[in-house]
Structures are given as C-alpha cells and as structure tokens.
Amino acid sequence: MKALAIPTMTSGLTAGLSVLFFVGLSRVYGDAVLGQIILVQAAVALVQVALVPSSWVYLLEGAGRVNLVRRYSEGQVVEWIGIAGGALVVAIASTVFGQRASGSFPLFLSLAIGASSSCLGYLRATASWRRYALWVLTPNLIRVPLVWGASTLVGAGVLPDLTDNRVAIVFIFFLVPDLVRLGCIYVPLALDNFRWPGIAKAAHAARAILRNWLFDLGSAVTDQADKLLVGALLGPHMLVAYFFARRMVVVTVMVIEPMYWEFYRAQAADSERTGPAAAWFKGLLAAILLWSATAAAIVIAIKTPSVASFVPIAIVSMLGPFLAVMLLDSLFAANRWSRYLAHATGRSTQLLVVRLSVFGVFTVMLALLAPIFPIWAVVLAMLAALGCETGYLTGLAQRAESA
C-alpha cells in the first residue's frame, strides 16, 4: 500500500505547493518577470533532460541490496557526467545570449538536483518512505512560505528587494531550496551507499539507462519546448495562462506516475498480469477525475470574492482555454504509460520518433492557427497532437494484448 500511497500523496502535495509558489512569485514580482523565468526554465530544462539521463527504471530492475547499490552507483556516475556536460552547455549559452539567459545557470543546477532519479529510485526501491517524502517535499516547503512572506522579509531587512534582479530571484527561490535537499538527503545517502563502479561498468550501465532516456528526451520536447513556442507565437499573457494550466496538471502527473511505477515494478518482478491496456485505461480514468475535481475547485475559487484576488489575472481572463488546456494535458499525462510498454518491448527509439512527430504536429498547427484564433490556437493544436499520439498508442496496446 505504501508503495503507491506515499508517492501519490507526497507528489500531489508537492504539485499543489508548486502552484502556490508560482502564484506567489507572480504576485510579488509580476507576470512579466514570471514569464521571463518560465522561458529560461523551459530552455534549460531541455538541456537538463537531454544530457542528464534518468536511471530510476534501471534501479528498480535490480534485485537484492548488493545489486541495488551497484546500480545506484552506476546511475550516479552516469548522472554526474550528464550534469557536467549540461552545465558546460548552459554556461556557453549564458555567454552567447547574455541578458536573455539571465538566471539560466542556477536554474539548471536546481533542475539537475531535483532530477536525481538515482537517489529517488534508491529511496523507493528500499522503501525509505520518510526520506522519500522529505526529498520530494522539502524544496517547496521552503519556497512557498519564503515567497509569500517576501514583502514582510524585505520590510524587515532580512531579504533584499529583488524586483530588478532576476538572477537573485532564481538563486534564492529556486536553487537554495534544492541545495538544502541536496545537503540533507542526497549527500548522506551517497556517503552511505555509493561505491565507485569504474568507467567500464558505468559505460555498460549507461547503455541500459539511455534506452529509457530516449523516452525522457521525447517527453521533454512536449513538456518544455512548447512553452517556448507559445511564448513566441502567442505572447507572454497567454504563456502565463498556459503555464499555470500545465502546472495544475502536475497534480495529475504526480498521482498517475506512481501508479505506473508500481505497474512497471510488478511487471518486472513478474508478479502482475495486468495488461498494458488496462493500466492505460486506469490512468485515463484517474486523469479525467482529477481534472474534474481541479477544474471545479478553480471555478469555485474564481467565484469566491475572498479567494478570487489570489487567482492570476491570466487565468480569470482566459478561463475557457485554461480549463481546456488542463483537460488535454491531463490526457497527455495518462499516455505516459507508453514509457513502460516501449521500454519493455525495445521500442524506445520508435517512441522517441513518435513523440517528436507529435510535437511537430503541435508546432505546425500552432503556427497556422495563431494568427486566426489567438486565444484558442493552443487548444486546437493540442487536440490535434493528442489525437495523433492516442492513435499510435491504441495500435501499440492492441499489438501488445494480442502478443
């Protein structure tokens, strides 16, 4: 029960805290600053996902402590190499793009720490639920009170006025909370369990880890690069509304992902005979139910005068497209089950091609529709992309069920 309940509860709470954090950031520093941070974060997230491979699936496939420690150590080495390469790319980009890339380096480090899937995978595989919860919750438990109390802290002289200093905003509100997580959980875990595997063994492990990385790379295109497109084609106001809609769906992703993790773990251990189509259906049902509850809560909040003032203006002014983006992105989240089926059947490369093609459909449709339907263009583009992806996954599920 804990294998599903604790990751679901902590991830859902983290998603809610994340929304509170970004709402607070918007209130304190304005939508213009928030929009700039969103764009830079999306850009460095592409670098992070492209160069820092995810190793948690590799860890979960290990049986026994000795094997788990070995895989954890190999995953750490692969991640460190990726982080070093990503840091170099971001540093060069910061020099080239100057002020437009302001804050990119601390944002990259923040994302790289949070994306340490070898640490998270080890805690999950060993059922270290207390440390797991602390790893997931700590940064936002620091960020939320910090940003909502920023005005008071500035007035008391504890925090300087950061209005015109985007680098300082990113460092204090993004990187520092992740450094706390790094020092409290990551470092002690590594000191206790890391064993240098050698370059040869790390390179051998990298081949298995990189198969799953292909999914993450394709997923990152839809999860990050779309923000760059929306901001460029539809402007910052729509970008903020789009960002918050997708941020709200993080609740759905973080609830569904543990379900799929547990499904994959059980399949790998050969203790679960549930077919992939059944797992996908459960994910779709959960996504729709979560969207319904979240959408109802947002509508009630907007209709409540004492709460409405805390809702970003971009959401209120574009409520219809906002809710529609939430629904479509929730269905995209449910399609994440494809990672496990593709990884298990050796179709990770094919899935990467499909995801890049789906993103191409989204890009073309958004570019064509933006001048005609500036408010609803992103909804229509997402609908077209979702239709293409769902069609592919339906065929994949049918072939898997008949095999």
The three-state secondary structure class of 62 is: coil
For the cut 60, the answer to whether the pLDDT of residue 298 exceeds it is yes
Distances (CA, A) of 394 to 32, 143, 145, 331, 383: 41, 41, 44, 14, 16
Q: What is the DSSP string of 260-284?
A: HHHHHHHHHTT-----HHHHHHHHH
Going by C-beta distance under 8 Å and a sequence separation of 6 or more, which residues neighbour residue 377?
A: 233, 234, 365, 366, 369, 370
Residue 246 scores a pLDDT above 60: yes
Rg (CA), the chain: 21
Residue (of 253, 232, 250, 252) closest to 377 by Cα position? 232
- Region 260-286 average pLDDT: 68
State how far the alpha carbon of 111 is from the alpha carbons of 43, 78, 134, in Å: 11, 16, 17
Coil, helix or strand at residue 318: coil
pLDDT at residue 100 in the model = 79
What's the CA dihedral at 281, 287, 290, 295 to 10 degrees?
Answer: -130
| Whether the Cβ atoms of residue 139 and residue 117 lie closer than 8 Å to each other | no
Mean pLDDT of the region 199-219: 75
Instruction: With cut-offs at 50, 70 and 90, classify the pLDDT of residue 273.
Output: low
pLDDT at 172: 93
Q: For residue 225, what pLDDT band results from cuts at 50, 70 and 90?
A: confident
Query: What value does the mean pLDDT take over residues 341-365?
Result: 77
Give the highest mean pLDDT range of 45-49, 277-281, 377-381, 397-401.
Answer: 377-381
Split at pLDDT 50, 70, 90, the class of 336 is: confident
Would the pLDDT of 219 be above 70? Answer: no
**pLDDT band with cut points at 50, 70 and 90 for residue 324:** very high
What are phi and psi for residue 215, nearest 5 degrees? Answer: -65, -45
Cβ–Cβ < 8 Å for 279, 263: yes
Higher per-residue pLDDT: 102 or 21: 21
pLDDT at 258 (0 to 100): 67
With bands split at pLDDT 50, 70 and 90, how would you rate the model's confidence at 387?
A: very high
Tokens coding 72:
């954890």
pLDDT(344) > 60? no
- Compute the average pLDDT of residues 192-218: 79
Provide the H-helix boundaries in 194-275: 199-220, 226-248, 250-268
In this structure, of 40-49, 127-136, 152-161, the range with the lowest mean pLDDT score is 152-161
When pLDDT is averaged across residues 294-299 and rounded to a whole number, the result is: 89
> Where does the pLDDT of residue 221 fall: very low under 50, low under 70, confident under 90, or very high at 90 and above?
low
137 is written with which tokens?
């919750």
What is the mean predicted confidence (pLDDT) over 220-233?
A: 81
Helix, strand, or coil (residue 203): helix
pLDDT of residue 184: 93
pLDDT tens digits, one per residue of 62-75: 666 778 888 889 98
Q: Which CA distances in Å does 272 have to 34, 263, 334? A: 44, 7, 20
Output the pLDDT for position 3: 59
Q: What is the mean pLDDT of the chain?
A: 83
Give yes or no for residue 269 having a pLDDT over 70: no
131-157: string of b/e by CB count within 10 Å (b at 16+)?
Answer: bbbbbbbbbbbbbbebbbebeeeeeee
pLDDT band at 170 (very low <50, low <70, confident <90, very high): very high
Evaluate if residue 379 carries a pLDDT over 90. Answer: yes
Q: How far apart are alpha carbons 127 and 124 in whole angstroms?
A: 5
Q: What is the pLDDT of residues 47-61, one digit of tens each?
A: 888 888 888 777 877
Rounded to the nearest angstrom, the gap between the alpha carbon of residue 290 and the centroid of all alpha carbons in its chain is 17
Asked whether residue 190 carries a pLDDT value surpassing 80, the answer given is: yes
Please name which of 260, 119, 282, 290 lies closest in space to residue 191, comparing C-alpha atoms.
119
